[in-house]
Amino acid sequence: AATGVAAVLLASLAILAPSARGLNRGEFPTGFLFGAATSAYQVEGAYLEDGKGLSNWDVFTHTHSGDIDDGRNGDVADDHYHRYMEDVEIMHNLGVNSYRFSISWARILPRGKLGGINSAGIAFYDHLIDALLQKGIEPFVTLHHFDLPYELETRYGSWLGAGIREEFDHYADVCFQAFGDRVKFWTTFNEPNLFTKFAYMLGAYPPKRCSPPFGNCHSGNSQQEPYIAAHNILMSHAAAVDNYKKNYQAKQGGLIGIVISMKFYEPLTNSTEDIVAAQRALSFEIHWFLDPIFFGEYPKEMREMLSSNLPEFTPAEKMLLQNRVDFIGVNHYTAIYAKDCISSPCELNTYEGNALVFATGEKDGVRIGKPTALGGFYDVPEGMEQVIKYVNQRYENVTIYVTENGYSEYNNNNMEDMTNDTGRVNYLEGYLSCISSAIRGGAKVRGYFVWSLMDNFEWRFGFTVRFGLYHVDFVTQQRTPKKSAKWYRDFLTGSGPMG
């Protein structure tokens, strides 16, 4: 399955010719989805309105405000729940033909299966979807983007208890039934590979659990937890896909996939150890979820390192996994160097620690790309082409949507400065050029979503960083287009300097 993997890894980013930047919308296939993305907790606000239940993130931000950089929360966020009509108008002006958003599970089923459907929650998404379609904007919907009803967190530890599988299956079914006549693009989970690490290994996201030696919540939790949570997520995903394929797809004609967070790892040196380490990092990042979905097994590298800490699939689970996804969503923000931590010791406190890899943005004092506000995230557009090629080769030329890609800046509370975001313009232009090049190389990329439509609540960074094409004043809720929004609109409409 991994044909060509070594070749991809050996093609150092440093020696790749920079992509031509003469970017034009016409280079992309007809029907290509160009959009922007958000998620429910990050933009909606209205956290206790119209029958919504408390979510795990509502409770986490209220009880652990010290874990959020500015101590704030998403109670109001962008107030999108009340301003969605204005936001749809903004998207229309921007010229996007798709919008990626997530549904708040706690708005639809405040107590999970127990308490019934909240019709006001259904009505909100009905209105949003209808408003989008009226403007010719295709809804691209995520079912789980980190938030779930708090009651399910207390009952199952979120993803630790197998009972959550039935809950997700029910929630997905309610959504297919309510919205599937109009929604043609579904994804089950956003970045389960990232949030299981943050939630069950590093103690940074709810339910704030750690696996020794990682994280700083020494609660003695077991090393198995991230992998148990992932296993339950994979099976919840598989059940929802099975249901959609059996009961909805023929009638509704939509597609279903899953979104994985994908850094690209470049070996720090030419040593065999570092080359193998970069492969191992990719395995723990990408193969962890996609190998079971495509090949019915966890990757060999993970099994060798984790042995019985990694669950096994039962024959029944393997059967269920055989339902193929229609596409893979790729969230890609950065490439980074990987250094082996097996043959020589290094500090294991980063995201890649469980793969015994140390990730670093520097090689011989030279950075891999221009740094962004998020530590460890650099502007390395060639990494996008590499990650797409990699997924294309390993997973049978699967259809790909780039579901997130974006540039962060520190919020300095100076609107003039924040809207003059040339760094973001360069970033987006570079990454889009590399997607275009990957398509020319044969990859089936069919859509691209900028993270994010507008500045919003950035999880543990709170409001300290801004990712939006639109600046949001969180006091007045005024949205203002940044230079990048104007650039994107010019690119999309074929007018202006990019035309």
How far apart are CB 198 and ligand LGS at their closest, in Å? 8
Both structure tokens of 258? 């899953």
DSSP designation for 193: H
Could you tell me the CA-to-CA distances from 235 to 311, 352, 356 in Å, in that order? 12, 24, 26
- Report if residue 454 touches ligand LGS, rule: CB under 6 A: no
DSSP designation for 48: T
How far apart are CB 357 and ligand LGS at their closest, in Å? 14
Which CB atom, from 150 or from 463, has the smaller least distance to ligand LGS?
Answer: 463
Interface characters, 364-383, with ligand LGS (x: CB under 6 A): ----------xxxx------
Q: Which of these ranges, 86-94, 428-436, 451-459, 480-488, lies near ligand LGS under the rule CB under 6 A?
A: 451-459
Interface characters, 404-443, with ligand LGS (x: CB under 6 A): x---------------------------------------
How far apart are CB 77 and ligand LGS at their closest, in Å? 12
Element (H, E) at 10: helix 5-10
One residue of 189, 294, 327, 467 binding ligand LGS per CB under 6 A: 467
Residue in the shown chain whose Cβ atom is closest to ligand LGS: 333
335 neighbors 378 (Cβ within 8 angstroms): yes
Q: Round to whole Å and give the CA distance between 99 and 450.
A: 10
Q: Where are the alpha helices (DSSP H) in 267-405?
A: 272-282, 288-295, 300-306, 315-321, 382-394
- Report if residue 256 touches ligand LGS, rule: CB under 6 A: no
Q: Which of 44, 225, 404, 429 is catalytic?
A: 404
The verdict on whether 297 is a catalytic residue reads no
221 neighbors 210 (Cβ within 8 angstroms): yes
Please list, residue by residue across 210-220, b when 16 or more beta carbons sit within 10 angstroms of its beta carbon and e when fewer do: bbeebbeeeee
How far apart are CB 193 and ligand LGS at their closest, in Å? 10
The verdict on whether 191 is a catalytic residue reads yes
Q: Classify residue 274 as exposed, middle or buried by CB count within 10 Å of its CB (0-12, 13-18, 19+).
A: buried
Between 225-243 and 164-179, two packed helices, what is the crossing angle to 10 degrees?
A: 30
Which CB atom, from 178 or from 380, has the smaller least distance to ligand LGS?
Answer: 380
How far apart are CB 392 and ligand LGS at their closest, in Å? 22
Q: Where are the alpha helices (DSSP H) in 356-442?
A: 382-394, 415-419, 422-440
Interface characters, 167-206, with ligand LGS (x: CB under 6 A): -----------------------xx--x------------
359 neighbors 352 (Cβ within 8 angstroms): yes
Which CB atom, from 100 or from 231, has the smaller least distance to ligand LGS?
Answer: 100
Q: What is the largest CA-CA distance in the chain?
A: 59
How far apart are CB 348 and ligand LGS at their closest, in Å? 15
Q: Which of 151, 191, 382, 429 is catalytic?
A: 191
Between 422-440 and 483-493, two packed helices, what is the crossing angle to 10 degrees?
A: 30
- Report if residue 296 touches ligand LGS, rule: CB under 6 A: no
- Report if residue 56 touches ligand LGS, rule: CB under 6 A: no
Strand partners, 20: none
Which CB atom, from 291 or from 455, has the smaller least distance to ligand LGS?
Answer: 455
Distance, first Cα to last Cα, the chain: 41
Which CB atom, from 429 or from 455, has the smaller least distance to ligand LGS?
Answer: 455
Which residues are designated catalytic?
A: 191, 404
The contact set with ligand LGS (CB under 6 A) reads 39, 42, 190-191, 194, 261, 331, 333, 351, 374-377, 404, 451, 458-459, 467
